[in-house]
Structure 1
Amino acid sequence: MGWQSRTRTLQVFDTELSADTVEWCPLPQWSHVLACGTYQLQKGDDKKTAEDSTAPSRIGRLYLFDCNPQPSFIPPLTETQRIDTPAILDLKWCHVPISERPLLGMATASGEIQLYKLMETQQGTCGLEYELSTELGPDRLALSLDWSTGRGESSDVRVVSSDSSGSITALSLGEASLTAVCQWKAHDFEAWISAFSYWDTQIVYSGGDDCKLKGWDLRMGPSSPTFTSKRHTMGVCSIHSNPHREHILATGSYDENVLLWDGRNMKQPLSETAVGGGVWRLKWHPNQEHLLLAACMHNDFHILHCQKAMEGQDAPCPVLASYILHNSLAYGADWSRLPLSSFSPPSPQESPQTSIGLTESGGHLRIHYESPTASFDTSLEDDSGRYIPDQSPLPEKSSIPDPFTSPARDSQSLSCLMATCSFYDHMMHVWRWDWSPEEKQKPSEPAPSS
């Protein structure tokens, strides 16, 4: 049986400041809540004297939305709150309630991990209240964070964070404190990403601009890594442990490849998939263990099917769907846990989204983009603001005969709600992906004989 894949935009929201991270609340009672973080570099005032001029300031804004994706002509998102903050580089909800409330962690350009508690407001909506914060150290940007609760375990809740000094910090959450348990120098340059193994939360992974992927065992102390991999050829900027399959780890890099690993053998990845853009974020599906969402900077957002790779077949992960409607760097991406069974799928007449030829328009513009640590690079965009990729092959879409192995083997289709955001166009998109069996055409009946 073949399967057809369709994407459809539901709403586009202008975040005003550059958007780089989106996160749906993973707790069932609050799965309609969506948070989006922004990052904006403010250039110094030209009128300032040399004594007054300092490094450019980085500001941010935290948005909170309520989502109601039911069939109607009303956009599904309603903005319920915005909070001005230091520039935000990462957001993550704790996967379990803390004191019976959802808790949102935020990595900021001020070098802090800030925690916000989700509360009901007098208007009957939800709002975030500042809870507490911890500084990682002077003269650094907090670049990422991860919670130890990825499999829903609520004992010994911890946070791990990486920063622009190349350090990793493990923190423990108490009743009224977030305390650093240990901090160590892990990478020579920026440590772009840090993540827990959700199956053994004493194991931490990190990736840095030194092109290295490392593992750490908190029980042994951080004096030396449990492994160091140089399999990625550029900076490692995304890591996510699979919460459904033990030992499975996904990593991404500026080298435009997604690698799948078995944590018991970090010498050689299970698979390597070229996705045509630097892989800034990777997210496993909330309940489908083989589906992986990738935010690919210069090459949009892709959904990968990883079953064969996880079974050891040493093959690239086929791309099931691509969302190509952002016009800038694809940074933030997340799956929603909201059920869409009551939300009607696209009509059969609605054509699936197809790729647009990016090099057909004229007037190419050379642009500069700024990384979170103020280093610069160049790339090409067309006159519509779309990135013009190198002449490298795009990932191929493949037909998957049987997408479901567990827990939804008997499902007839899959519908998912997603949120993604892009940087320079400061846009957040909410969209849906429908994956369903292709209807077999019935053989035409012979014309009746006269």
Structure 2
Amino acid sequence: MGWHSRTRTLQVFDTELSADTVEWCPIPQFSNVLACGTYQLQKGDEKETAENCPAPSRIGRVYLFDCNPQTSFIPPLTETQRIDTPAILDLKWCHVLISERPVLGMATASGEIQLYKLMESQQGTCGLENELSTGLGPDRLALSLDWSTGRGESSDVRVVSSDSSGSLTVLSLGEASLTAVCQWKAHDFEAWIAAFSYWDTQIVYSGGDDCKLKGWDLRMGSSSPTFTSKRHTMGVCSIHSNPHREHILATGSYDENVLLWDGRNMKHPLSETAVGGGVWRLKWHPTEEHLLLAACMHNDFHILHCQKAIEGQDAPCQVLASYILHNSLAYGADWSRLPLSNSTPPSPQEPPQTSIGLTESGGHLRIQYESPTASFDTSLEDDSGRYIPDQCSLPEKSSVPDPFTSPARDSQSLSCLMATCSFYDHMMHVWRWDWSPEDKQKPSEPVLSS
């Protein structure tokens, strides 16, 4: 049976400041709530001399939205709040209620983990209120955070964070406090990412700019990791534990590869998939255990089907769909838990695709990535503005793969809502992906590919 895949843009929102993280609230009764975080480096006046020029400042803003995707012809998002903050490197909602309220965690350039609770107003809208904050230490940026609650377990709620000094911090959430339980030096350079194993929350994984992926058992202390992998060849910047399949872990790196692992054997990955861009964020689907969303920096956003790899067949993950309508670095991405109708609505705000002219040499340089420490690299792009990997071939973006099994149970159609954001063009997109058997398509319905 053939399968039909399409992506549709529903709305585009200008965040004004550079956007780098988006997160849908995972609490079922608040799944309509979306948060977007921004990061802006403000440099000093160019007229200032090196001696008296102040250090660059980093500012941010968190946006809160209400989403109603069921109304055709009407943009689904309504902005309900914006709060100016220190620059935001990462946002994560706790997967369970805390004191009967949803809680949003924020990793900031001021070196703090800040927690906001979501409150409902008399008008029926929701808003964030600052609840707690804890500093990780002087002269460092908080780069990522993860909650221990990925499988919906509410006992012993903790947060793990990584920072620009290469350290990890585990924090315990009490009734009115966020307290550091332990902190240790984990990486030689920036520790880009830290994440819990959702199946054993005494296990923590970390990745750094030293190109190392490490595991830590909190019961054994932090003097040495349980493993150190150098399988990635550049900085490791994304890790996500699969909440549906025990032991399964996804990692991404500036080396442009997504690796899947079995946590019981970290010597060799289960699979390696080249995605043509540095993998800044990976997100497993909320209910479909084989689907993985990847934000690939200079090569857009991709939905991967990972069943063969998870089952140990040593095969790359299949790219089911790609969303290519951002015009800058693909940083933030998340799946929504909101239900969607089976019919695909029209796209009222399809943004134009831009083409960048080339010199006669056949390509030109563009910024590949800029880290929170203001370092950057360059890459080559072709006549349509797409990145040209040095040694990587990707499937055609217009192709519709025909996987060996349906990603949805019982060969049913699957419709998903996503939010993604890109950096220098400060844009957030809300879009949907529809995946269905071809024989269920209406003959007159046009096929739209991403």
Instruction: Name the TM-score, length of structure 1 as normaliser.
Output: 0.91
Work out whether residues 261 and 270 of structure 2, in 8 Å CA contact, stay in contact via their aligned partners in 1: yes
Structure 1 residue 381, shift from structure 2 partner: 5.2
Distance change (3 Å), C-alpha of 1:82 and 1:358 = farther
The reply to whether residue 294 of structure 1 matches residue 305 of structure 2 is no
Work out whether residues 280 and 296 of structure 1, in 8 Å CA contact, stay in contact via their aligned partners in 2: yes
Structure 2: distance between partners of 1:13 and 1:54: 32
Structure 2: distance between partners of 1:120 and 1:325: 34
Distance change (3 Å), C-alpha of 1:138 and 1:182 = same
Structure 2: distance between partners of 1:103 and 1:449: 37
Distance change (3 Å), C-alpha of 1:433 and 1:404 = farther
Structure 1: distance between partners of 2:446 and 2:42: 72
- Secondary structure (helix, strand or coil) at the match of 2:220 reads coil
Q: Give the RMSD, CA atoms, in angstroms.
A: 5.2
Work out whether residues 146 and 159 of structure 1, in 8 Å CA contact, stay in contact via their aligned partners in 2: yes
Structure 1 residue 361, shift from structure 2 partner: 12
Structure 1 residue 226, shift from structure 2 partner: 0.3
Work out whether residues 327 and 386 of structure 1, in 8 Å CA contact, stay in contact via their aligned partners in 2: no
Give the number of aligned pairs. 450
Structure 2: distance between partners of 1:291 and 1:449: 19
Distance change (3 Å), C-alpha of 1:445 and 1:155 = closer
Structure 2: distance between partners of 1:84 and 1:53: 24
Distance change (3 Å), C-alpha of 1:204 and 1:229 = same
Q: Specify the structure having the higher radius of gyration (Cα).
A: 1
Q: Cα deviation per residue 1:378-414 (whole Å; 9 max; x = unaligned)? A: 2345788664554631146799999798995225200
Work out whether residues 299 and 389 of structure 1, in 8 Å CA contact, stay in contact via their aligned partners in 2: no
Work out whether residues 6 and 447 of structure 2, in 8 Å CA contact, stay in contact via their aligned partners in 1: no
Distance change (3 Å), C-alpha of 1:361 and 1:225 = same
Distance change (3 Å), C-alpha of 1:449 and 1:43 = closer
Q: Cα deviation per residue 1:108-147 (whole Å; 9 max; x = unaligned)? A: 0000000000001233200000001000000000000000
In structure 1, runs of 5+ residues without a counterpart are none
Distance change (3 Å), C-alpha of 1:404 and 1:124 = farther
Work out whether residues 295 and 301 of structure 1, in 8 Å CA contact, stay in contact via their aligned partners in 2: yes
My pick for the range that moved more, 142-151 or 117-126, is 117-126
Work out whether residues 358 and 388 of structure 1, in 8 Å CA contact, stay in contact via their aligned partners in 2: no
Q: Cα deviation per residue 1:297-331 (whole Å; 9 max; x = unaligned)? A: 01000000000001100000010000000001000
Structure 1 residue 370, shift from structure 2 partner: 2.8
Work out whether residues 358 and 387 of structure 1, in 8 Å CA contact, stay in contact via their aligned partners in 2: no
Q: Cα deviation per residue 1:82-129 (whole Å; 9 max; x = unaligned)? A: 000000000000000001100000000000000000001233200000
My pick for the range that moved more, 261-270 or 343-352, is 343-352
Instruction: Tell me the equivalent position of 2:115.
Output: 115
Structure 2: distance between partners of 1:224 and 1:349: 52
Distance change (3 Å), C-alpha of 1:149 and 1:449 = closer
Structure 1 residue 53, shift from structure 2 partner: 2.6
Structure 2: distance between partners of 1:276 and 1:182: 37
Work out whether residues 7 and 352 of structure 1, in 8 Å CA contact, stay in contact via their aligned partners in 2: no
Q: Cα deviation per residue 1:323-376 (whole Å; 9 max; x = unaligned)? A: 000001000000000000266456999999999999999884544753111112
- Secondary structure (helix, strand or coil) at the match of 1:219 reads helix
Work out whether residues 274 and 392 of structure 2, in 8 Å CA contact, stay in contact via their aligned partners in 1: no
Instruction: Name the TM-score, length of structure 2 as normaliser.
Output: 0.91
Work out whether residues 291 and 407 of structure 2, in 8 Å CA contact, stay in contact via their aligned partners in 1: no
Structure 2: distance between partners of 1:447 and 1:342: 16
Structure 2: distance between partners of 1:437 and 1:113: 45
Structure 1: distance between partners of 2:338 and 2:151: 18
Distance change (3 Å), C-alpha of 1:447 and 1:432 = closer
Distance change (3 Å), C-alpha of 1:403 and 1:28 = farther
Work out whether residues 2 and 399 of structure 1, in 8 Å CA contact, stay in contact via their aligned partners in 2: no
